[in-house]
Structure 1
Amino acid sequence: MEYDSPLAAGDIPSEDQRVRDLLNAGRLADANQLFDEVVARVPPGGGRWSRSAVLVNRAVLAWRLSRIPLALELAAEGWTDLDSEHPDSPAAAQTMSALGYLLEGIGHRRAALDMLRLAVQVARRSGDAETLAQCLQRLGGILNFRAASGPPQAAEQVFRQAAGYLREGLELVADPAFRRAIMAAYSRSLIGIGAYDRAEQLARDTHDQCVAVGDEWGQAVADWVLGILHQHRGDQDQARDVLRRAVELAERVNDISLLFRFSLDLADACAAVGDPVGEAAALRRSVGASLTAVETLQEGLGQALEQRKVAVQAQRLAVAAQEAAARDPLTGLTNRLGLERTAPFLLDSTATKGRIPWLVLLDVDGFKGVNDDAGHAAGDAVLREIAQLLRRECRIDDLVARWAGDEFVVLLGDTGNDYDIGPAVAERIRKSVDQHDWSGLLGPMIRPPTVSVGVAAGPAKLDTLFKAADAALYRAKRLGRNRVEVEPTARS
């Protein structure tokens, strides 16, 4: 992956991070010396994923230090834990993210993108904000480079994807060094979607911060972004000068992937101003960087990729099995387990945005009668039909779940500034079920089902919301069914 950022705190030892800091400051000799001391130590305990994360990230450091055989050895050793049955820890996400970085650097681009997307999924499940931000930054950085080098007609869409990931990461990250890396990447995405003024402000802020602390890696990326911005604005002379500085910094910090990308852009800038000597020199740099990455690494780590392919497939099957365990087989909705796993993240996100969390709890009226009069097969069909109506009436960001039996839960996502959205959605659902044509499913003699609905809003805790909504649901049943009741105390 071209954007190599500081790691989130947690599983990676502080001395390993110090090696990265020295590299990013262009102090290669000091980084090499400290790395010799670091790599001689056995990774600390804390579980096999933690050990794997340390090993793979040491492989990244070895690659940055041009110690290729050691990089391959460390990567192969760290890769062996990818068949873990429970990839839900920050260390697992860090391992996958670092592997994605290595795979991208050696040219295994599809595998790299798959690995980085999987790392983001695992990071989300882990609940660790810094790790998720790291994974989002690496994925967004790769998408930036794919957009820049891919078909022009597809570039803006890919840049928008990258911007979304990076913007989310920027909201999560606290570490200053890591924040600078995301800011630089995000500014490149903004150029890609035409937000030039905002991109320039962010890139210059990043550049100034990096200069102040001696972060030459971040300064190189910021200069590259500013150079691209000058190109878009037609100032090719300025673009050439700034891109030349970015290339020199990329050489100083020994980042082959950055050097390859920056040199290509510098060659374009030199050609635009009629500088054939500069263009040739930039192309020689890009070719040299490409040969280093491809010839030296692709064969060795490519073999490791093939050897681990079965393990990666097993890993994906394990993830799919986890997802299946959280889904109701009858309706296809999230089940109670899935709701309890996912709700805290949705509620935290809603609260962080200053929105009101809403929970809608509904129960099918007279469902026992449907089973008794029409049979359990018809009852199952009614539940499936209600699940479809819920999907239709709710948004993609809402979490729709079958709680148990004939009870369903809807946890609303971002509600914007509409403070009455919960009751409105509940009434829409009630009316949709009440006005649905059930005759084809139940016949004319069976009483069609309706739903009673309880609605609550308040603290971002699932159990608190559920208890309040359950009280409102009980009131709706007691007052005649087929109605919506809102729990007033939950809104305080």
Structure 2
Amino acid sequence: MVDRNDSPLAEHLPQQDREVRLLLESGRVLEANALFDEVVSGMPPGEDDRWRRATVLVHRAVVAFRLSRIPLALELAAEAWVELDAERPEGTAAAQTIGMLGYLVESIGHRRAALDMMRVSVELARRAGHPETLAHCMQRLGGTLNMRAAEASPDDAKRIFSEAQGMLEEALSLVHTGFLHRALLAAYSRSLAGLGELAEAEELAQRALRLNEIAEDRWGLAVANWVLSGVRRTQGALPAARTLASRAVAEADRVGDTIMLRRFSHDLADICADLGDHVGEAEALRRGMAAGGKILDTLQEALGQALEQRRLAVQAQRVAVAAQEAAARDPLTGLVNRLGLERTAPHLIKRTASRGRVPWLVLVDVDWFKDVNDDAGHAAGDAALREIAQLLRRECRADDLVARWAGDEFVILLVDVSDERTEAGPTVAERIRAAVHGHDWRLVLGKTTRPPTVSIGVAAGPAQLDQLFTAADNALYRAKRQGRNRVEVQPPAEDELNARAASTLTTR
């Protein structure tokens, strides 16, 4: 069976997705269909790897289309489209995704958009600096250009074949083995044949044919036979051309590639007509029309509508989620607000405690903030709060939860603190105090207003959020009473010390 694990696309796909593609390229459609049911029941990678998720979705859409499962192909393509809308394309996964989407769009008849997508994929792959991915994207584009040239006027055909030839020649210099090399050999030989270089075209196509026979690559066999059929037809050997074209059509049908089946059937019909074989011509035309009918009957205008409707529906869902997130965020500072803290903190505290680690709560209050507003105005006061929010972010880790509790009061939840940072709360609190105290406030408040400082209360868990907050608030009260611009730590209760000791013993 053909092995496509050497494909640069394979690294972005789960193992079962690769196995479905291998079965399909080997012409084992029933087995591919059965395994594909298992594949689509599982979810692609999550939101943390959005471009890889989009790659998997588009790949599944292409497979679904080739298996004639059109509604599923539309659903998968639309979901992938939403992922593409959400991210700026960069890297190899983006190049592969957009290239495959272009191939799918070409299959369903949106031809102008298809070429644009494939050209973008080549540029992305070139910027990514990954030779195999670049060669793969060039193979898609070059092969598509060959198909376009085969049906163009003589003048246009020469120009299109010439573009494809230059691109495929570069791609061949980048890979020297595997399925991609075989596919490039066949595609490059077709470009050469289209430009009249028949001897070299035949030599390369024969080599591709032998390699694909060894690998049992039905897709590669289809293309190689098509190229050799075109060479024989140009040479006037029409019976041999008909035999080769019939093989190309049969192999394209076996692997379910609509683009190839439609093109190869039309070429076979032309050869049969040249031979006076009207029965063969009619049968070839019937197969070509059936391949086109698969598209026309199911898709056309309905496809664009279905994709757009699905895209808008998913976008509306994302807008609703964004609105929920906005409700949990403070518009002045951009920090999580009280609602967001109360939603998120219990989970973070529980997760941290379950790992045998200590959550710390740091409560920050701006000293003399009323004086800032009175002396410099509320706009300057707002600017000062935004500046303090930035200082808090700077002194905390990305995983820590930084929130504006109310007015001039901020809360920081330090999570997943390692054993080496047992005094993380007081350490971070002192960094924050020093950062605010040493900050140059003149640009924000001018020279006459007393620069703000902060008083900080610190408490450690494991505990509930309200218990941690009460403990930190007690410490903050002491910091205020003892002169402000200082950090106070609330010692844990005795039962909490016992719980912490037990947790430490459990995790050792």
TM over 0.5: yes
1:137 CA displacement: 0.6
Over the aligned positions, Cα root-mean-square deviation in angstroms equals: 2.1
User: Which residue identity lines up with residue 65 of structure 1 in the other structure?
Assistant: L
Compared with structure 1, are the counterparts of its residues 253 and 166 closer, same or farther at alpha carbon in structure 2 (3 Å cutoff)? same
1:226 CA displacement: 0.3
Give a deviation string over 1:60-79, Cα, whole Å, max 9, x none.
Answer: 01111111111111000011
Match runs of 1:331-342 below 5 Å: none
The answer for the alignment partner of 1:33 in structure 2 is 34
2:89 match: secondary structure: coil
The answer for the alignment partner of 2:374 in structure 1 is none
The answer for the alignment partner of 2:495 in structure 1 is none
2:78 and 2:311 in contact (8 A); partners too: no
1:204 CA displacement: 0.6
User: Which residue identity lines up with residue 115 of structure 2 in the other structure?
Assistant: L
1:9 CA displacement: 3.2
1:240 and 1:269 in contact (8 A); partners too: yes
Give a deviation string over 1:265-320, Cα, whole Å, max 9, x none.
Answer: 0001001111000001100111110010222133443225656999xxxxxxxxxx
1:297 match: secondary structure: coil
Q: Structure 2-normalised TM-score? A: 0.58
The answer for the alignment partner of 1:87 in structure 2 is 89
Count of matched residue pairs: 307
Structure 2 residue corresponding to 1:234, chosen from 224, 232, 236: 236
Query: In structure 2, how many angstroms separate the alpha carbons of the residues matched to 1:305 and 1:113?
Result: 19
Query: In structure 2, how many angstroms separate the alpha carbons of the residues matched to 1:56 and 1:70?
Result: 11
User: Which residue identity lines up with residue 34 of structure 1 in the other structure?
Assistant: L
1:25 CA displacement: 0.8
Match runs of 1:162-201 below 5 Å: 162-173=164-175, 176-201=178-203
2:19 is the counterpart of 1:14: no
1:87 match: secondary structure: coil
2:12 match: secondary structure: coil
2:242 and 2:272 in contact (8 A); partners too: yes
Q: Give 4+ residue runs of structure 1 displaced > 6 Å after superposition.
A: 307-310
Query: In structure 2, how many angstroms separate the alpha carbons of the residues matched to 1:308 and 1:300?
Result: 12
The answer for the alignment partner of 1:256 in structure 2 is 258
2:212 and 2:218 in contact (8 A); partners too: yes
Compared with structure 1, are the counterparts of its residues 291 and 126 closer, same or farther at alpha carbon in structure 2 (3 Å cutoff)? same
Match runs of 1:269-284 below 5 Å: 269-284=271-286
Query: In structure 1, how many angstroms separate the alpha carbons of the residues matched to 2:294 and 2:7?
Result: 23
1:41 CA displacement: 1.5
Query: In structure 2, how many angstroms separate the alpha carbons of the residues matched to 1:7 and 1:280?
Result: 40
1:37 match: secondary structure: helix
The answer for the alignment partner of 2:329 in structure 1 is none
The answer for the alignment partner of 1:120 in structure 2 is 122
Give a deviation string over 1:199-242, Cα, whole Å, max 9, x none.
Answer: 11111111111111211111011001100110111111111111
1:62 and 1:71 in contact (8 A); partners too: yes
Query: In structure 2, how many angstroms separate the alpha carbons of the residues matched to 1:299 and 1:32?
Result: 27
2:75 and 2:307 in contact (8 A); partners too: no
Match runs of 1:211-226 below 5 Å: 211-226=213-228
Match runs of 1:44-443 below 5 Å: 44-45=45-46, 47-173=49-175, 176-303=178-305
User: Which residue identity lines up with residue 37 of structure 2 in the other structure?
Assistant: D
Compared with structure 1, are the counterparts of its residues 14 and 163 closer, same or farther at alpha carbon in structure 2 (3 Å cutoff)? farther
Compared with structure 1, are the counterparts of its residues 96 and 307 closer, same or farther at alpha carbon in structure 2 (3 Å cutoff)? farther
Query: In structure 2, how many angstroms separate the alpha carbons of the residues matched to 1:231 and 1:309?
Result: 46
Compared with structure 1, are the counterparts of its residues 70 and 85 closer, same or farther at alpha carbon in structure 2 (3 Å cutoff)? closer
> Percent identity over the alignment?
54
Query: In structure 1, how many angstroms separate the alpha carbons of the residues matched to 2:71 and 2:7?
Result: 23
Query: In structure 2, how many angstroms separate the alpha carbons of the residues matched to 1:17 and 1:238?
Result: 35
2:61 is the counterpart of 1:23: no
Query: In structure 2, how many angstroms separate the alpha carbons of the residues matched to 1:14 and 1:169?
Result: 26
The answer for the alignment partner of 2:361 in structure 1 is none
Query: In structure 2, how many angstroms separate the alpha carbons of the residues matched to 1:174 and 1:307?
Result: 43
Query: In structure 2, how many angstroms separate the alpha carbons of the residues matched to 1:168 and 1:308?
Result: 38
1:7 and 1:17 in contact (8 A); partners too: no
Give a deviation string over 1:412-453, Cα, whole Å, max 9, x none.
Answer: xxxxxxxxxxxxxxxxxxxxxxxxxxxxxxxxxxxxxxxxxx
Q: Structure 1-normalised TM-score? A: 0.60
Deviates more, 1:48-57 or 1:169-178: 169-178
Show structure 1 runs of 5+ residues with no match: 311-492
Query: In structure 2, how many angstroms separate the alpha carbons of the residues matched to 1:307 and 1:117?
Result: 26
1:49 and 1:92 in contact (8 A); partners too: yes
2:75 and 2:310 in contact (8 A); partners too: no
Query: In structure 2, how many angstroms separate the alpha carbons of the residues matched to 1:98 and 1:172?
Result: 20
1:254 CA displacement: 1.6
1:86 CA displacement: 2.9
User: Which residue identity lines up with residue 38 of structure 1 in the other structure?
Assistant: V
Give a deviation string over 1:383-412, Cα, whole Å, max 9, x none.
Answer: xxxxxxxxxxxxxxxxxxxxxxxxxxxxxx
User: Which residue identity lines up with residue 176 of structure 1 in the other structure?
Assistant: G
2:209 and 2:220 in contact (8 A); partners too: yes
User: Which residue identity lines up with residue 41 of structure 2 in the other structure?
Assistant: A
Compared with structure 1, are the counterparts of its residues 305 and 119 closer, same or farther at alpha carbon in structure 2 (3 Å cutoff)? farther
1:178 match: secondary structure: helix
Give a deviation string over 1:50-92, Cα, whole Å, max 9, x none.
Answer: 1001101110011111111111110000111223453111111
1:142 CA displacement: 1.0
1:8 and 1:130 in contact (8 A); partners too: no
Query: In structure 1, how many angstroms separate the alpha carbons of the residues matched to 2:248 and 2:137?
Result: 24
Show structure 2 runs of 5+ residues with no match: 313-508
1:210 and 1:216 in contact (8 A); partners too: yes
